[in-house]
């Protein structure tokens, strides 16, 4: 199943903590696996040592678009 996961960048990586997020869609068997896969993805992209530093804000069933930068 596809899940869309929204994560918060850790304070040590964010220019404006609490406002920088990362959204991705992963294929997983359950919500727990989706959270882990999303954290591992963003950590790898940012060369971060600890995927758990990226706080999970929400997990949605299905594939959803990130429209925060659209006008």
Among 47, 59, 56, 38, CA closest to 12? 47
pLDDT over 90 percentage in the chain:
82
DSSP 3-state of 71: coil
- Residue 71 covered by a domain: no
**What's the pLDDT band for 16 if we cut at 50, 70, 90?**
confident
* pLDDT tens digits along 35-57: 999 999 999 999 999 999 999 99
- Output the pTM of the full model: 0.90
- Residue 56 covered by a domain: yes
CATH number of the domain enclosing 27: 3.10.20.10
- Residue 70 covered by a domain: no
- Residue 67 covered by a domain: no
**What's the pLDDT band for 33 if we cut at 50, 70, 90?**
very high
- Residue 6 covered by a domain: yes
- Residue 69 covered by a domain: no
Contacts of 21 (CB under 8 A, 6+ apart): 6, 7, 8, 9, 57, 68
Number of domains the chain is built from: 1
Range of the domain at 38: 2-61
């Amino acid at each position: 199943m596809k899940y869309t996961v929204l994560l918060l960048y850790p304070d040590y990586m964010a220019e404006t903590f609490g406002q920088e997020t990362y959204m991705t869609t992963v294929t997983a068997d359950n919500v727990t696996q989706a959270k882990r896969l999303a954290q591992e993805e963003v950590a790898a992209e940012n060369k971060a040592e600890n995927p758990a530093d990226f706080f999970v804000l929400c997990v949605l069933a299905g594939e959803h678009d990130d429209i925060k930068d659209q006008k």
